Structure 1
Amino acid sequence: MSDPDLAKDIDACCRLSGEFTLRSGQVSHEYFDKYLFEADPALLRRVVAEMRSLVPADTDLLGGLEMGGIPIVAVLSAETGLPALFVRKEAKTYGTCKLAEGPDVAGRRVTLVEDVITTGGAVRDATVKLREYGATVDVVVCAIDRSPEGENPLADVGLEVRPVLTKAELDAARG
């Protein structure tokens, strides 16, 4: 990592203590409030600077997942010049009725962009749906991977997880 203080700064900004129910239904005594770094322009730029090198060279579209992946994908798109796609949890039931706002995904390689991955539920759902629309989805880049060390929670859908930071790195940054 070219930004040696990023883990320490993200940890200091985003780690909360208490009792939190995660999207997966798991209860955790700590929570990484990613909106705290996403709302900080300088910190968001630092995360995106590290994320750039994780994006596969053959990516056609960057797919940011609603809602936390949207600020990251907007900045990453501007930095890389790759078009952004805004992926909803569910397709709209009105207007264009789209699952993903932006360019058509059929026949395109989409790299997903997410904020925090624990079990990967939202990423798994988006991967399956985008593939149904004809996209090739093989990689997700994320700001924080808090899944158990050495495990890929998305192996079941053939997705490679490329994190900027892992929970182990954030824990180590606490000293």
Structure 2
Amino acid sequence: METSAMLSIFKETQALLDGHFKLTSGRHSDSYFQCAKVLQHPEHLGTICSAIADHFRESGVDTVISPAIGGIVVGTEVGRQLGVKTIFAERKDGRMTIRRGFSLEKNERVLVVEDVITTGGSVAEVMALVEAAGAEVAGVGCVVDRSNGTVRLADSQFSVISLEVHSWPAESCPLCRNGVPIEAPGSRAASPSPSA
């Protein structure tokens, strides 16, 4: 599916928002992809995840792992379509960890799947967990790459939508300077903007 058609689906489902947002990375942006809004529709979930699964189908993936919370639904569906185990990593005391009895085996080929990549911080943390377990990162797949491909985390990396979306460090955000109220619709709470 072409990027324009996919963006239309995001807009129709109110998953692409305009405003002033604090991203999970801590950066600020005038656009926000609320993937949960589009992924709640099974037909869109299946279509989006099949693009990721199809890209990695011949990569010998044994397991799909996703960072919580945003990547869980996508990772689970990609894993289902690939017919492999799916697990997730989550934060405990501010650090990404593998818990809940999940584990990775030495030499296991692991696909890291995320909903949105801006800086790639969460994905990089999950990749480090995979490597620390002696497993191998088979690739990185995501629904939206907000960096338009400038954030490269793995040799084999795929995004359903790749485009450049404005984002700024909090301290140089023009929206904060202009007093635009900030929202934090993601999984981590926003701190007050510098203008507050």
Could you tell me which residue of structure 2 aligns to residue 166 of structure 1?
Answer: 162
TM-score, scaled relative to structure 2 = 0.71
Tell me the distance in 2 between the aligned counterparts of 1:42 and 1:36.
13
Q: Post-superposition shift, 1:122?
A: 0.2
What SS does structure 2 have at the residue aligned with 1:88?
Answer: strand
Percent identity of the aligned residues?
26
When Rg is computed on C-alpha atoms for both structures, the one with the higher figure is 2
Tell me: CA distance 1:122–1:28, structure 2 relative to 1, closer, same or farther (3 Å).
same
Tell me the distance in 2 between the aligned counterparts of 1:101 and 1:72.
20
Counterpart mapping for 1:84-95 below 5 A = 84-90=86-92
Amino acid corresponding to residue 124 of structure 1 in structure 2: A
Structure 2: gaps (5+ residues)? 165-196
Could you tell me which residue of structure 1 aligns to residue 50 of structure 2?
Answer: 49
TM-score, scaled relative to structure 1 = 0.79
Q: Assess if the C-alpha contact under 8 Å between 2:9 and 2:38 holds in 1.
A: no
Counterpart mapping for 1:17-166 below 5 A = 17-55=18-56, 56-90=58-92, 98-99=98-99, 101-147=101-147, 149-154=148-153, 158=154, 160-166=156-162
Tell me the distance in 1 between the aligned counterparts of 2:29 and 2:98.
34
What SS does structure 1 have at the residue aligned with 2:137?
Answer: coil
Structure 1: gaps (5+ residues)? 92-96, 169-175
Q: Post-superposition shift, 1:101?
A: 4.9
Tell me the distance in 2 between the aligned counterparts of 1:131 and 1:73.
18
Q: Post-superposition shift, 1:2?
A: 7.3
Tell me the distance in 2 between the aligned counterparts of 1:159 and 1:129.
18
The Cα offsets for residues 92-144 of structure 1, whole Å up to 9 and x where unpaired, read as xxxxx844754533221101010000100000111112211111114110011
CA RMSD after TM alignment: 2.6
Tell me: CA distance 1:22–1:89, structure 2 relative to 1, closer, same or farther (3 Å).
same
Amino acid corresponding to residue 75 of structure 1 in structure 2: E
